[in-house]
Structure 1
């Protein structure tokens, strides 16, 4: 057992990081159960497409509304306490929802209010959680550390959690929400064990919150490698989300994958993601960072082309496995590059700008994907993604050498 723990979580990452990983893994299991149980609960209360789509927006729109504020607070307050408090709010909201379900007082209004509250609290959790890793792990180990966090997210959110959540919902509507409350409580207890210094990372917190937000945005705009990375993230999320918004139609109508087989596409992607995250440490040691960044972005461009041409399920599943593998290498690498470059006292604010880039790109891409598919067919968004990501990669190809070592550029500039 000791050898297994050492392989998964090397001791050089520190005991504090192990507590963080434990908290992340257990809360991601709860989140994964909600991925299945949430839509099932909504569908049990209404079949109105507008209300169903509103429930999904309730989880993402809070990032656009409160993301910058959440990032600023992460740099002003004790980060462990922010995570614990926001998770406690999530737990209380879910507990209230459980009571409403058990007492038969649940309806779509109660569900939507609960989802908005959950999405808002989760915004503050997510904006702060990413700032703890650079506080606990040396710069050279940030890639491996983020890979281990992502492995838990993939397993809990995509593989185990949704299946468990669906089974529990079938056994009793309240059960997946009850168990998620337990997971959140365990996550809070584990975060409490992390030995970060109490208080804010900033020596002085005497500025207005608006000034803090402006300072974070100004720092990002004034740092060319990090700014270019943000632009890449926006564009590639637009091009990724466009075909993903109509993936189910593409699978059913063009490729001929049935409803049961459609779920296996996500499974194939998740299995590829596990391969990518656990192979990341070796890849980072063996391949120069700039080469690795260019390779995974080129893989994204070629993936879009292959999906645009594919009409066979036998090709779709391996392609989704391939997508999962390279996409999570990119996610781990880009986050590590950013964390190495951004000063500790700005991690929350700059990280929140990145998350808004992700969410904003996904919303815009989803809208474009629906419009493009409506006008030119379900394969057209893949062609849009291929051209858009390909042109972007050509434009930033040389800049990726600087982005990969953005921390060295910051050091030179200071």
Structure 2
């Protein structure tokens, strides 16, 4: 793998670290300033709206410009949003004024758009910078580095910054993003400019149509949509389960440990995915994510203790990264280069729409019945997905192969 690819990996890690830290800092800026729960929720929602509102356009940009330019644009969006938030954070007094809240929401939306661009770059950049035979190893390295940055370093980084002050946290994140952009910039020359597609292939929705015509991609999209809803339910419920006297009864200081278990599992998955793909093949390896998702939800549904919950989080994190690397490698081989950006963006746009839906349904069930009941409903749903896996991705599914049948 060439040096430009490592530069892009470092740039993506910096973007991931910055975005993850800002997802803590933005709500904290409102909450610590005396904002109401509704105001905090408004800013938190703005930090997610890039996916439904910008997801398809991000794919168009990726197919029209260098992937490194798209990453630099992501750095710029998030950096400017962090600086704008730093300027207004000091104005948040006894409850933020409407204008300040609106500005924070707008900046949060810019962060979300930057995240969308960076995440889609991470799924599409490898074919531009490494040989086809190295795609699997390249994707493993990229996802492993991002995991360390986002799931292991970001919580510690964000908490340390907020201990100083909220404006300092925003400025420090801006500095990280500036450094990430400087690291990425030299790789720009090595990243090719894509050809401009003509006719129907130029449509913003060409990626959606391509997924609809490809049975394997359609099956992967259905599965990732269902699993996204299940994961969002777990993320919405696990904090309440952890602190509830009737469940784990953990102190708040230990909540980060459960999330860190996801990071540990993800890192292990990034290391193991390529050997597993060689030994087992792509289809059995993908099923590990379904099994991990079932375990993630079934353990709290059965009132499992802290050790079991942490073990399930490790298993789910492992399966999640194995899925991401394997699917990314398949897309990079199976999808024509001119459509890759829009196809990846469409795949993620559909799949990630389940996040708000899963959270809302899980919260409603927990409120009406109990936390265990909510976990149980989604555990059952994930089990149905696991059974459906064998129909949606049959044994002859051309995973890891192009339309011409070549190996990944």
Q: Does 1:89 align with 2:82?
A: no
Partner residue, 2:148: 155
The whole-number CA distance in structure 2 between the counterparts of 1:116 and 1:224 is 34
Per-residue CA deviations over 1:104-158 (Å, capped at 9, x if unaligned) read 7984333222212222333333334432112222334323222222222222222
Q: Does 1:278 align with 2:271?
A: yes
- Structure 1 residues 85, 323: closer, same or farther in 2, change over 3 A? closer
SS at match of 2:194: coil
Give the alignment of 1:102-121 within 5 angstroms. 107-121=100-114
* Residues 310, 316 of structure 1: 8 Å contact kept: no
Select which of 123, 135, 140 maps to 1:130. Answer: 123
- TM-score, normalized by length of structure 2? 0.89
- Structure 1 residues 286, 321: closer, same or farther in 2, change over 3 A? same
Partner residue, 1:333: 326
Give the alignment of 1:174-253 within 5 angstroms. 174-194=167-187, 200-202=193-195, 204-205=196-197, 212-253=203-244
- Structure 1 residues 30, 242: closer, same or farther in 2, change over 3 A? closer
Per-residue CA deviations over 1:244-264 (Å, capped at 9, x if unaligned) read 212112222223223222221
Q: Shift of the alpha carbon at 1:359? A: 2.0
Give the alignment of 1:39-78 within 5 angstroms. 39-78=27-66
Q: Shift of the alpha carbon at 1:233? A: 0.7
Aligned residues: 399
Per-residue CA deviations over 1:163-218 (Å, capped at 9, x if unaligned) read 1222222213222221211221222222222255666412x345599x52232211
Per-residue CA deviations over 1:285-341 (Å, capped at 9, x if unaligned) read 322222212233223223322231134223222222222222222222222222221
Give the alignment of 1:161-176 within 5 angstroms. 161-176=154-169
Q: Shift of the alpha carbon at 1:90? A: 2.4
Partner residue, 1:99: 87
Partner residue, 2:403: 410
- Structure 1 residues 278, 199: closer, same or farther in 2, change over 3 A? closer
Pairwise CA RMSD: 2.6
Q: Shift of the alpha carbon at 1:102? A: 5.7
Partner residue, 1:318: 311
Partner residue, 1:258: 251
The whole-number CA distance in structure 1 between the counterparts of 2:311 and 2:233 is 21
The whole-number CA distance in structure 1 between the counterparts of 2:151 and 2:274 is 22
The whole-number CA distance in structure 2 between the counterparts of 1:349 and 1:37 is 31
- Structure 1 residues 46, 206: closer, same or farther in 2, change over 3 A? farther
- Structure 1 residues 103, 315: closer, same or farther in 2, change over 3 A? closer
Give the unaligned 5+ runs of structure 2.
none
* Residues 269, 320 of structure 1: 8 Å contact kept: yes
- Structure 1 residues 403, 375: closer, same or farther in 2, change over 3 A? farther
* Residues 26, 183 of structure 1: 8 Å contact kept: yes
Q: Shift of the alpha carbon at 1:269? A: 1.8
- Structure 1 residues 47, 278: closer, same or farther in 2, change over 3 A? same
Partner residue, 2:13: 25
Per-residue CA deviations over 1:2-49 (Å, capped at 9, x if unaligned) read xxxxxxxxxxx2222111111122222323332332232121234312
The whole-number CA distance in structure 2 between the counterparts of 1:402 and 1:70 is 33
* Residues 45, 108 of structure 1: 8 Å contact kept: no
Q: Greater shift after overlay, 28-37 or 395-404?
A: 395-404
- Structure 1 residues 302, 126: closer, same or farther in 2, change over 3 A? closer
Partner residue, 2:298: 305
The whole-number CA distance in structure 2 between the counterparts of 1:406 and 1:284 is 11
- Structure 1 residues 317, 133: closer, same or farther in 2, change over 3 A? same
* Residues 8, 187 of structure 2: 8 Å contact kept: yes
